[in-house]
Chains A and B, each alone.
Chain A
């Protein structure tokens, strides 16, 4: 049995999921911090 499709599938799933969760966390953080900054400037 050729093991390489299994190896590539594992790496692809983990690295893509990791990239997506980093992006999600970063975007959520930037949006929340931007909203907080805008509100703190309002009197």
Chain B
């Protein structure tokens, strides 16, 4: 891990990986989404609105995965003082917030024909809304207290404490009465028919790779900005 603490070494890996993630991600999303709209079967109960599954689940996955990444990067920053951990956490924040908003939006759109309502204050949806607010607060904290491109210890601690919401979101459909369906894919297996499962997995992998590309681009931008600031400071001092 510390082998890539050197930004130059990290960038030598990040540059080819960015393009690879972008191209493969876009291709998988194009295939998964195209199949979801045009070829996937309709559901017996939900009808054609089940096609929103192939978009809604990846966005929800990324929203929770994004905050989990922030929490892990924050722990690495505080415990091991890895210089790129703080940069990584900051890079995840904006795309993570975006995908949380998209998960809420697509969930709301799917809820209308399925549940007969755009919104309900149940455990799953409310905890996802809380996650969105946590992202916004994290972004505000990170922007107010950035240090050498990364985030301050206070922001890192916020990232770790906020992770308590992730298992709450996950378990919300078990703990409380909810309109949201319970988990279909668990460690023990899947209750989804393969006709729905494989295009869903294609889209989840595609969106994850694209998210990785976005985070790498954000990290490269932050590292370049830090380099520019340091150079300008040195030039001003001379």
Contact = CB atoms under 8 A, between A and B. Distances in A.
A36 B210 CA distance: 25
B210 A10 contact: no
**SS of B interface (majority):** helix
Given A1-B113, A10-B106, A36-B228, A25 B48 contact: no
A17 B98 contact: yes
A27 B225 CA distance: 13
A39 B228 contact: yes
Given A21-B95, A25-B221, A29-B224, A6 B37 contact: no
Contacts of B105: 10, 13
B11 to A, nearest CB: 9
Nearest to A30: B221
A10 B33 CA distance: 11
B217 A26 contact: yes
B224 A32 contact: yes
Given A11-B37, A39-B231, A22 B113 contact: no
Interface residues of A, number: 27
A32 to B, nearest CB: 4
Contacts of B98: 17, 21
B225 A32 contact: yes
A11 B49 CA distance: 11
Contact of A29 (B51, B52, B110, B217): B217
Interface in B13-49: 22, 29, 33, 37, 47-49
A3 B59 contact: no
A11 B110 contact: no
Which of A18, A28, A39 gathers the greatest number of chain B CB atoms within 10 Å? A18
A26 to B, nearest CB: 6
A12 to B, nearest CB: 10
A25 B102 contact: no
A34 B134 CA distance: 33
The 7 residue pairs across chains A and B that have the minimum distance between CB atoms: A32-B224, A25-B217, A3-B49, A3-B48, A29-B221, A36-B224, A29-B217
